[in-house]
Amino acid sequence: MIDVEDLIALIQNYNPRSNSDNIRKAYAYGKKMHEGQVRQSGDPYFSHPISVAAILTEQRLDDATLITALLHDTIEDTKSTFTELSQLFGPEVADLVDGVTKLTNLQLSSAQSKQAENFRKLFMAMSKDLRVILVKLADRLHNMRTIKSMKQEKQHQKARETMEIFAPLAGRMGMQWMRDELEDLAFRVLNPEARGSIIRRFITLQREAGDVVQKINADIRTELDAVSLEADVYGRAKKPYSVWRKMQEKDLTFSRLSDIYGFRVICNSDADCYRILGVIHQRWRAVPGRFKDYISQPKSNGYRSIHTTVSGRDGKRVEVQIRTRQMHEVAEAGVAAHWSYREGVLGKNPFAVDPAKWIASMTERLEDDDHDAFLENVKLEMFTDQVFCFTPKGDVLQLPRGATPLDFAYAIHTRIGGSCVSAKIDGLRVPLWTRIKNGQSVEIITAEGQRPQSSWVDIVVTGRAKAAIRRSLREEDRSRFVILGRELARAAFDHVGRPATDKALRTAAKMLGLADETELLAQLGSAELTARRVVSTLYPELSLADPELADNMRPILGLAPDQIVNRPKCCQAVPGERIVGITYRGKGVVVHTIDCPALQEFEQQPNRWIDLNWEPGRHAPVHTVTLEITIANDAGVLGRICTLIGVQKSNISNLVFADRKPDFYRLLIDVDLRDVEHLHTVMTVLEAEIDVAHIGRYRDVRLKPKSIEAEL
């Protein structure tokens, strides 16, 4: 366990002005609170918070963050409270510890919908102070380094969570070293055989070819010395997981895999970066398509560097990254560089990004999406590489790899994206699903009246574009639902002899707790609300009988006085049809038409059959039947259908779009009828309508006796 004075020495190496007394105070408090607690490895529990703090000193972070690391488990695992921490260490530290505690309590490896909500909470916590996630990432890194002491099942859970969430998040924050280590530690747990195989291949390669890294390192050093360029050169073999991922993505064996070695050249100025690039390209042949200039076009997390891949010694491909020392600081610390100290002074690195702006860009336009869409967009933002393209005016846009002209259009403005009809890349017209490449110039062609199409969601790759398209489609659906809802409301109100005025609808909306009559009509059209409920809410004395209650009071001959009758959806018997009853213990009698397929299940149980008949006479229009109708997708057709049903004195109690196509709709409409004659009249009238391609009585053949019983 690291001693407090050793920890203070680590801090004073980069921040001599650190308040050592506060560090000692936090160390003593944390040690006291965790006294008697041990980790699964048997080590004192407080060794973990100390190690987390030590990891954060590598990023030269401020005292508040380091004290938070020492105390990050006190609220959750000890008797310490937020109030006590605030009094002892100030509100800043208390808020940070509380934020880390809330993140720890998020179960990020649960079901996807829950996971999406947890992502939302995670980003909300990050938006208040990004140092919360820096402590959490260091906490996860130390837990992964010591994961062997956990149970096997817990190891796999933590490793998957690390691979899916924390490693990509560290990479997105610019902390690539942490992402590499987290991925490799998780890879060791999830696929130890593959990792071991790659390491053995590296050992074999080194034995056969010698220390390739040292040889190439010396070659680069020699070329730079020849032109008197001062720079540091570092080389390494890539991490096993990085190699494994490339093998999977490119479907290559290890022997066919290139650029498994990476080198960094760190110099003093931007000009030196480009001079070094020239020296390397003169000495070795550049690999086409493998050059990226992140100095002139930096990443959103502040990362700047030149990347190039060349055919080095013995034809081996090597990747070379060239950057200045200031760029290297940001490349190592990422967004955390904003809080880095040097010689006791908060760093003024010009390349460090403002964390507030970074987190805003991550969550932009994602607030209104549902949980699944939010999760999808966050993962898109975290896992993507980037391409740089130009507007016709020469401005540069940064987009994820695989972005299309539609992504480009929405990146400029939502209005341009929504009205996009086609695009030109480098002056040539291309389909909207074309993938943009680095350095291409994109021109968007728009047209008045164009609206986003549902197929666009599958074309775009940016979270911003997906969110805007889905929002527009929802608004368009809402307009259509309002129109349909108005027709349903008019038909229902006509049925009870009342006009469906705006005032009446507004009153009903208020009584139902809805915002206004537009919201009421939208819910009617989308089948979230039934017209019967609206009418019964506004005119209880005129409302139609509740369908379940009506079923139980229906005049049927052959029942005992205390028997209750139920009518399932498998056949929806109506007066005038021949019916039989099947008895259910404690559930009364279920009425079926004589030709209902569900009756086959009861052929060997004659004691459960009851012969039933409808009482003669006129019945109330409370018998719901589902009609399956296919209509043309033209303006006004659905409205006419609803009107025709209303004219026949039948109420529409529900409507569902079973299928939507560009030229037709297939609908399931629940209509309330008096008897079989009334049913035939409604179907005949609808069948005569020119825009009705098909009409039939819908029977839910999926319903089996057990599901019928469950339905009751």
The more confidently predicted of residues 454 and 629 is 629
Provide the strand spans (E) within 404-555: 420-425, 428-430, 442-446
pLDDT at 378: 58
At residue 78, the 3 state secondary structure works out as coil
Is residue 497 classed as helix, strand or coil in its secondary structure?
coil
Residue 5 is which amino acid? E
The region of weakest confidence among 45-59, 241-255, 394-408, 514-528 is 241-255
Tally of helices (H runs) and strands (E runs) in the chain = 30, 22
Helix-helix angle 531-538:502-511, to 10 degrees: 90
| Residue 35 clears pLDDT 50, i.e. is over it | yes
Predicted local distance difference test score (pLDDT) of residue 443? 92
Q: Which backbone phi and psi does 19 adopt, to 5 degrees?
A: -85, 95
CATH of segment(s) 4-190:
1.10.3210.10
- Amino acid at the residue 428: L
Q: DSSP string of 411-451?
A: HH-HHHHHTEEEEEETTEEE-TTPPP-TT-BEEEEE-TT--
Q: Structure tokens of 232?
A: 């540091």
Residue 614 in contact with residue 575, Cβ under 8 Å?
yes
pLDDT of residue 362: 57
Tokens 């509380």, located at residue: 98
- What was the pLDDT predicted at 255? 54
H/E element holding 584? strand 579-584
451 Cα distance to chain centroid: 25
Residue 430 scores a pLDDT above 60: yes
Q: What DSSP state is assigned to residue 540?
A: T
In angstroms, the Cα distances linking 368 to 416, 459, 522, 707 are: 20, 21, 18, 37
Angle of helix 270-283 versus helix 212-226 axis, rounded to 10: 110
C-alpha to C-alpha distances, 591 to 374, 442, 576, nearest whole angstrom: 47, 66, 13
DSSP states of 329-351: HHHHHGGGGGG-EETTEE---TT
Q: Are 56 and 95 a contacting pair, CB within 8 Å?
A: no
**Predicted local confidence at residue 208, as pLDDT:** 64
Task: Mention every residue, 6+ apart, whose C-beta is less than 8 A from residue 329.
Answer: 337, 340, 347, 349, 351
Nearest to 461 by CA among 410, 519, 525: 410
From the list 28, 8, 125, the residue with the least C-alpha distance to 71 is 28
Q: Which residues lie closer than 8 Å to 616 by C-beta, 6 or more apart?
A: none
Which candidate, 449, 624, 450, 654, places its Cα nearest to that of 550?
A: 624
Average pLDDT, the chain: 80
Contacts of 271 (CB under 8 A, 6+ apart): none
Query: How far is Cα 653 from Cα 339, in angstroms, rounded to an integer?
Result: 62
Long-range contacts of 183-188 (CB under 8 A, 24+ apart): 183/239, 183/241, 183/242, 184/239, 184/240, 184/241, 185/141, 185/144, 185/145, 185/147, 185/159, 186/144, 186/159, 186/160, 186/162, 186/241, 187/163, 187/240, 187/241, 187/244
State the distance between the two ends of the chain, measured CA to CA, in whole angstroms. Answer: 64
Helix axes 212-226, 192-209, angle to 10 degrees: 60
Tell me, yes or no, if 77 is annotated catalytic.
Answer: yes
Question: What 3 state SS string does 35-75 have?
Answer: CCCECCCCCECCHHHHHHHHHHHCCCCCHHHHHHHHHCCHH
- Tokens representing 487 are 């027709």
Measure Cα distances from 69 to 12, 50, 138, 359 in Å.
17, 7, 9, 22
Contact 305, 295 (CB under 8 A): yes
Among 43, 58, 76, 689, which one carries the catalytic annotation?
76
Query: Can you give the pLDDT at residue 323?
Result: 94
Is residue 381's pLDDT more than 70? no
pLDDT at 352: 60
Residue 100 to residue 135: CA distance in whole angstroms: 7
Q: How far is CA 163 from CA 180, 181, 232, 260, 373, in A?
A: 10, 11, 32, 21, 20
588-610 b/e (C-beta count within 10 Å ≥ 16 → b): bbbbbbeebebbeebeeeeeeeb
349 pLDDT tier (thresholds 50, 70, 90): low
Asked which of 111-120, 139-148, 327-336 is least confident by mean pLDDT, the reply is 111-120
**Both structure tokens of 572:** 């929806």
Most confident of 58-72, 374-388, 553-567: 58-72
**Which residues are bridge partners to 692 per DSSP?**
631
- Between residues 315 and 211, which one has the greater pLDDT? 211
Please tell me the distance from the alpha carbon of residue 352 to that of residue 363, in angstroms, as a whole number: 19
pLDDT at 307: 92
Mapped onto helix, strand or coil, the DSSP state of residue 175 is: coil
Delimit the domains of the chain by residue range.
Answer: 4-190, 194-346, 547-614
d(CA 290, CA 68): 42
Task: State yes or no: pLDDT of 251 exceeds 80.
Answer: no
Q: 251-265, 321-335, 549-563, 677-691 — which one is most confidently predicted on average? A: 677-691
Task: State pLDDT tens for residues 576-615.
Answer: 888 999 888 765 788 898 888 888 888 888 888 888 888 7
Identify the CATH homologous superfamily for domain 194-346.
Answer: Beta Polymerase, domain 2 (3.30.460.10)
567 to each of 321, 587, 625, how far by Cα in Å? 73, 12, 11
**Mean pLDDT in residue range 551-556:** 53
- Asked if 589 contacts 559 with a C-beta cutoff of 8 angstroms, the reply is yes
Q: What pLDDT is stored for residue 239 in this prediction?
A: 82
List the one residue out of 368, 452, 348 whose CA is nearest residue 407: 452
Per annotation, catalytic residue among 3, 21, 43, 77: 77
Which of 276, 344, 280, 282 lies closest to 15 in space, CA to CA? 344
The residue among 500 and 164 whose pLDDT is bigger is 500
